[in-house]
Structures are given as C-alpha cells and as structure tokens.
Structure 1
Amino acid sequence: MQQTMRWFGPNDNVSLIDIKQAGATGIVTSLHQIPVGDIWTIEAIKERQEIIRNYGLEWTVVESLPVHEEIKRASGNYLQYIGNYKISLQNLAECGIKIITYNFMPILDWVRTNHDFINEDGSRALLYNQDAFTYFDVFLLKRPNLESDYSEIQRQNALHFGNKLSESEKALLFKNVLLGLPGSKINFTAEQISSLLENYAEIDNEKLRENLIYFLSEVTPIAEKNGQKLAIHPDDPPFSVLGLPRIVSTEADLKAIFNSVPSTANGLCYCTGSLSADPKNNLEKIIDDFGDRIHFLHLRNTIRESETIFRESEHLNGDVKMEVIVEKLLLLMNKTKTSLPMRPDHGFLHRVDEATETYPGYSLTGRLKGLAELRGLEMGIGYKLGL
C-alpha cells in the first residue's frame, strides 16, 4: 500500500515536514481555499504540487473535490457546476493527479456528538451518541416536522440525556454536531442549517440516488478518458441524520451505484470506519464484491458500545478485524498488480498534541501511531503470504 497522510494545506498546523518524518510518501489534500463549485485551475493545482514536492512528497490523492449542493439537489445552476467539475477533473489529469475522492452526503460531512471522549489512557477520541444527537435535533435545533423521525422512547431517552448537561455542555454539543466542511473551522449556525434543510424537504433516498447517478454519468467518462479514478466516500455515519437522505451506506447502495455506471473509473473510497458503524455491513464481502472499484483506503477502527453509541478506537483494536481486512487487501492488490494509496483515518488526540490546534481526528501523533501500526501489520502479513 502507498503510505499517505491527509494535509489540510498551508493553514494546517500539522506541517509537511511532520508528515514526511512520520514515514508517509504521499499527500492527500484539497484546494480548500477555492469555493465549492468553482473550477480548480491548473495554476492553483501546480502551486499546491510545488509546495508539496519541495518537501520530497507527492500529491497522490485529492480529498475532496467537493460536489456542490445544487448538484446533489439537481437544482439551480447544477449543470454549470457539473461543467466546472469536468474542467477541474481535466485540469487535475493534466497535472498528473489520478485519484479523486468525493462524497454525496447532503449538507454535512461526517457527524460526531463528542470530539473529546476520554479513553482510559487519557487520550481523546471521536464518539457518536444517538441520544445526544436526538437531543440536539429535537430540543436544541428544534427542527420542524420531525415527528416520524423519532419514537417517543427515543425522545424520552434524549431528554434524559440532555437534562444532565450544563448550558456550556449543550453549547459544545451544538458546535460538535454542526462542524463545517473539512478544512474549515467555521461551524454552521442554526439559521444556516435550517435554511439548508428546507432545500432537501422534497428529496428522498430515491431522488438523491437519481441525482448521483446523473452526476456520475456526466463526469465518469471524463475520468475514464484521463485514466482517473473517482472514489466515493461512504456516508458517515451510515444512516440518516437530520432527516436527510443517505445513499452510500450499505452494500446494496454500492451495488446500485456501480451497476448504474459500470465503468471501473466509478469507484469507492473503502473506509472501514464509516462502513463498520453499521454492523450489518460485511467489510470482507465488500472487498470480494467490489474489489475492482476500490481505489483509495481509509483504514480506521470503531467500537460499538451499544445500539446507540459508537466511537473511534485504536487502529488495530476494535470491531473491525483489521488483520483480516489488510490480508484481503494485500491479496487483492497482488491479484490486480496495483498498490492502493492508504491513509490512517482519524486518530486519538494525545497529550503531546493538546496544545496544538488541529482538526478533530487529525492530530499528528494519533495518526503517526496508526500509520506505524498499519505499516507493521502490512509487512507482517505480506511476509506471511510471501508477497
């Protein structure tokens, strides 16, 4: 596997030299300064490449080339935004960048209710608590027309959870849930999120999937012509939040996407953390069924504490049998004669990094530890298999 690490650009407090010394050779990044929907120019791409190459590294994966909300809704100027997306793909290809990750989650990216769950050793992890989220949705955001989204028992459990919170803890929960886009430190406001939700009032899973398929039917031929690989990131968490549709959460979802646009340029970012948050997903079978569609790897682990709570765990210790996953991936790569780029997704916040402001889940030491563990696991399994 190609060892990579995510870098959020020049404003990231984790530097490129830090990443290089961690042992990564590839950089996963995005042009966060360009507004969503605008064209990524060749000049802007090359400028970022030059910065990265000055440290002896290479920009190997785009994460993400974001999809404008109007494309997801097939409304407004969505055709223009699709046209811009095609030009950006072409420009990336001219600069030699061939793997492009994106997601089709409406409005929010990944969602957690607690960014500072304290582990036994004092390190901090990301956690999702459904009672906390329900409390946020029903009693803090007070989203209208959500009668059918929660049962009376769920509401009562949420109220019981919320009654234990101080005002500052309620404010922190609100902030945690409405974290903005990756690379941004600006949170959505209640007014902004309410307005955005109104735009999805008439869009269900079927309609959102239809819009994704149309988008892919337009952009996949460009990627295929340029030898590029599109890698859609699974929904995180893999179930509806705020009543929004979810269409990249299950094996059936993936099958529908790949069957509708059969080119292998239409592929998957195989994120073990996102997929494992739904215990019904069989991660090994996904490799077996969609191996030719896996173009990028996010390897992380989760622990489901109950039906309503899951949290990030150490990369090698959790509900995901990482040694089994890595072995299957190594056999896949040996069969296809490829080396898939991999990054250790998320990581604990260790004491040594607490004074450094970083994006939740993206402190240096936690990811360095994950990268080292995954590299060692790969080498050991590769030796066992004779690869």
Structure 2
Amino acid sequence: MIEGWRWYGGYDRISLSEIAQTGAASIVTALHEIPYGHVWPRQTIADTRMQILAAGFDWTVVESLPVHEAIKRGEGGLEELFANYRQSMANLAAEGVKVICYNFMPLLDWTRTDLTAPVGRGGSCLRFSITKMAAFDVFMVDRPGAEEDYSAEDIATARCWLDKASPADREELTAAIMAGLPGAYDRYDAAGLRAALAAYRGFDRTTLRMNHKRFLEEVVPTAEELGLKLAVHPDDPPRNLLGLPRIVSNAEDIGWLLSAVESPANGLTLCAGSLGANPENDVPAIARQFSGKIHFAHLRNVAKEPDGSFEEAPHLAGDTDIPAVIEVLLAEEAARRRQGRADASIVFRPDHGHELLDDAGRGTHPGYPLVGRLRGLAELRGVIAGLTHAGAAA
C-alpha cells in the first residue's frame, strides 16, 4: 500500500517540506482554484506535478475533479461540461495521473456541524450532530417539509438548542456546514442555501441515479482510452441531507453504481469513515465485496451515537475494524500482483485527523491537521507492517 497525503496546494497551511517529514510517499491533490466545469489546463497540471516531484513525492491520484451541479441535476445542454471534463481527464493522464476521485453528492460535499468538538484527553475533532443539523435545516434554513426528515425528539432538542444559541453560535454552525466545500466557491448563508436548494425541488433518488449513470456513460470510455481509473467517493454523511438524495451510501448503492456502466475504469474510493457512519454498513464486508474495484482508499474512523450523530474517532479506536479493512486491501494487492497487474498497489491516505498539540490555531483545512494526521498515518503504518509481517511469517 502506498502512503498518501492530501495537500491543498496554495490554500494549504502545511508545506510539502513538512509533509515530507511524515514519511508519506504520494501527494493527493487537485486544482482547487479552477471553477467547476472549466478545463484544467495541462500546463497548470504540469506545474503542480513538477512542484510535487521536486519535493520528493509522486502524484498519481487527483482528489477531486469536481462534477458540475448542472450535470448532477441533468439540466440544460451538458455537452460542453462533459467535453470539458473529458479534456481535463486527458490533461491529467498526460501528466501521469492514474486515478480520479470524484463524488456525486448534490450541492454539498462532506458535512459536519462542529469543526472543533472537544476530545476527552485534549484536542478536537469534527462532529455531526443531528440536533444541530435539525436546527439548521428546520429552523434556520426553514426548508419546506424538513420536519418530515427528523423525529419529534430531534426537532424538540433542535428547538431547545436554537433558543439558547447566540448569533455567533448560529454563524459558527453555518460556517461548519459550509466548510466541507472544497476550493473557494459557492459558500452560502442560510438564505443563500435556501435559494440554492430550490433548484433541487422535486429532485429524487431515481433522477440522481440516472444523471450519475449518464455521467459515467459520458466519461468512462474516455477513462478506458486514457488508462485512467474513476473512483467514486461515498456520501458523507451517508444519509439524505437537506432534502437532497444521497445515492452512494451503502453496499446496494455501490453495487448499482459499479454495474451501471461495466468497466474496470468505473471504481470506488473506499472511505472507511463515510461508510462507517451508517450503522447498517459492515465496512470490512463492503471492502471484500468490491475489492476488485477499489482504486483508492481513505482510512479513518468514526464513533456513532443512537440518534444518528457521530464524530471522528482516532483511526484505530472507532466503531469500524480498520485492521480488518486493511487486511482486505493487502489481500487485494496480493491478488493483483499474482495477475501481473502494474496497478497492484493501492494509494491510501489517513483522513480527518484530530487537531492535536500544535495543530490548534494553525488554521489548516478542517479535518486536515498535521499532527493529528501524522498520528493516524503512524498507526495505520504499524497495522500494515504487522499484517504484512504476519502474512510473510505464515
């Protein structure tokens, strides 16, 4: 397995020289400054690649090449957007990129309600509170029909939280929910989000699935020609949000998607944390079921609560059996090597670490601190070494 590290380029408070000290070998990044739907110029990709190579890393995984909202909604003439996406793929392939991670979550990317929830022995973590989400959705955004998506108890606790919340608390909640959006585009306040949601009124799961299938039909043949792998990222959190459907949340969703367009290029980013936030998901079992289509992996952990809330846990201490997941990935790599495949090794990265020690106040991207991820990488590295040694001894 290849140790990766997500880097936000010019937006990142962590330098490549600091990342080099973590021991990671591969940078996972994107051109976050380019608006959605525009072509990624080959020269800009080449400049980024040279910067990464000069720092001693390789760059084979892009996270993410964003899918424009119009494609997700399936509205209007989309030929130019599809053509731009294919051209960006060609430019990336020409500069040595092998895997493109993307998601098909409508409007919002990963979503949390707290960016600095306290951790028992110090530090902070990302958290998703169903109480705060209901307060935001039902009362602050005032989305029509929002009450139907929450229990009476959820709504009552949300009302209680809102009654006690200061204007600063409300602003902090809105900022947290918006923080998952990458790059520098399309941040909303509550009123702006209400207007953006109106474009999705009447939008359902079946429609989103059909639009996702059309996207794959448009880009998978190009991926095959270029030798690229597409790796869809699961929904985060794996539940409908703000009335918007989510369609990559469990094994059934993944199975449908990977069979919608049959191709080795149509694959999965195995995100143990996103899938682990759904209490019905057995993450090691999902990894085994789709191991042949896993092109990239995010290894992190969550601790779930009965009401649907969850928070980021230490990488080896949450609800998901991460060593079991890693065991599946190592077995898949071994199977690929036996087949003589050049792409046998899977890039993984430690995801969403706690803010620890000097991370506090540094202003890194939420969930992407230096020390917290370094701790996670060290723990994952130890598991991989132990399992590899045990396999060799056997």
Flag structure 1 segments of 5+ consecutive residues without an equivalent: none
Task: Give the structure 2 partner of residue 346 of structure 1.
Answer: 352
| Aligned residue number for residue 75 of structure 2 | 75
Q: Secondary structure at the match of 1:10?
A: helix
Deviation at 1:192, TM superposition (A): 2.5
Maintained 8 Å contact 1:179/1:186 = no
Q: Distance in 2 between matches of 1:361 and 1:328?
A: 25
- State yes or no: 1:364 paired with 2:356: no
Aligned match of 2:263: 263
Equivalent residue letter for 1:380: G
Per-residue deviation, 1:366? 0.5
Post-superposition Cα deviations, 1:199-228, rounded to whole Å, max 9, x if no partner, equal: 111210000000000100110011111111
**In 2, Cα distance between the equivalents of 1:297 and 1:101?**
10
Partners of 1:281 and 1:149 in 2: CA distance: 20
Provide the rounded CA distance (Å) in 1 between the counterparts of 2:318 and 2:147. Answer: 35
Q: Provide the aligned length of Structure 1 versus Structure 2.
A: 387
More displaced 10-residue stretch of structure 1: 160-169 or 87-96:
160-169
In structure 1, the partner of 2:340 is none
Any conservation in 1 of the 2:112–2:180 contact (CA below 8 Å)? Answer: no
Answer yes or no: is the 8 Å Cα contact 1:72–1:211 preserved in 2: yes
Aligned letter for 2:346? L
- Aligned partners of 1:149 and 1:385: how far apart in 2? 47
Q: Distance in 1 between matches of 2:303 and 2:202?
A: 35
Checking the alignment, whether the CA contact within 8 Å between 2:110 and 2:180 is kept in structure 1 is: no
TM-score (norm 2): 0.95
Q: Distance in 1 between matches of 2:180 and 2:271?
A: 20
1:384 aligns with 2:380: no
Partner in structure 1 of residue 2 of structure 2: 2
Note the aligned Cα RMSD (angstroms): 1.5
Contact 1:101 1:233 (8 Å CA) reproduced: yes
The SS at the match of 1:127 is strand
After superposing the two structures, state which structure 1 stretch, 200-209 or 281-290, moved more.
281-290
Q: Distance in 2 between matches of 1:374 and 1:95?
A: 29
Contact 1:180 1:186 in 2 (8 A): no
Is the 1:180–1:187 Cα contact (8 Å) retained in structure 2?
no
1:360 and 1:180 mapped to 2: Cα distance? 8
Residues 226-269 of structure 1 show CA distances to partners (whole Å, capped at 9, x for unaligned) of 11100000000000110001100011101111111110200000
Write the distance in 2 (CA, Å) between the matches of 1:258 and 1:112. Answer: 27
- In the alignment, the residues of structure 2 paired with residue 349 and residue 142 of structure 1 have an alpha-carbon distance, to the nearest angstrom, of 33
Code of the residue aligned with 1:356 in structure 2: it is R
Instruction: Return closer, same or farther for 1:375/1:319 CA change in 2, 3 Å cut-off.
Output: same
Which residue of structure 2 lines up, in the alignment, with residue 158 of structure 1?
Answer: 158
- Give the structure 1 partner of residue 148 of structure 2: 148
| 2:177 alignment partner in structure 1 | 177
Q: What are the equivalent positions in structure 2 for 1:122-137 lying under 5 Å apart? A: 122-137=122-137
Aligned twin of 2:32: 32
1:140–1:174 CA contact under 8 A, matched in 2: no
Q: 1:365 to 1:186 in 2, by over 3 A?
A: farther
- Which residue in 1 is equivalent to 2:222? 222
Provide the rounded CA distance (Å) in 2 between the counterparts of 1:190 and 1:116.
21
Distance 1:252 1:108, change over 3 A: same
Q: Tell me which residue corresponds to 2:54.
A: 54
Higher deviation after alignment, 186-195 or 80-89:
186-195
Is residue 22–residue 368 contact of structure 1 (8 Å, CA) maintained in 2? Answer: yes
Amino acid paired to 2:350: P
Does residue 308 of structure 1 match 2:308? yes
Per-residue CA deviation, residues 287-329 of structure 1 (Å, 9 max, x unaligned), is 2221111000000000013333210000011101111111121
Q: Which residue of 1 aligns with 2:341?
A: none
Deviations 1:187-206 (A, max 9, x none): 32223312221111121000
Provide Cα deviations, 1:141-200, integer angstroms capped at 9, x if missing partner. Answer: 222343433343332122123333333222211221122522338732223312221111
Aligned-partner Cα distance in 2 for 1:41–1:231: 22
Pairing of 1:10-29 with structure 2 (within 5 A): 10-29=10-29
Q: Does the aligned pair in 2 maintain the 1:71–1:79 contact within 8 Å?
A: no
Larger deviation: 285-294 or 201-210? Answer: 285-294
Aligned 1:110-125 pairs, distance under 5 A = 110-125=110-125
Letter in 2 for 1:264: P
Mean Cα deviation higher: 346-355 or 233-242: 346-355
Query: In 2, distance between residues paired with 1:247 and 1:107?
Result: 13
CA distance in 2, matches of 1:113, 1:57: 34
Q: Distance in 2 between matches of 1:279 and 1:180?
A: 22
Q: Deviations over 1:346-383 (max 9, x none)?
A: 10111312131111001111111111110111001110
Structure 2 CA distance, aligned partners of 1:309 and 1:180?
A: 17
Equivalent pair of 2:127/2:311 in contact (CA under 8 Å): yes
Residue aligned with 1:148, SS: helix
Distance in 2 between residues matched to 1:191 and 1:179, nearest whole Å: 17
Distance 1:79 1:246 in 2: 25
Q: Distance in 2 between matches of 1:136 and 1:319?
A: 27
Match of 1:87 in 2: 87
Measured at CA, do residues 77 and 33 of structure 1 come closer, stay the same or move farther in structure 2, by a change above 3 Å? farther
Query: Compared with structure 1, are the counterparts of its residues 169 and 197 closer, same or farther at alpha carbon in structure 2 (3 Å cutoff)?
Result: same
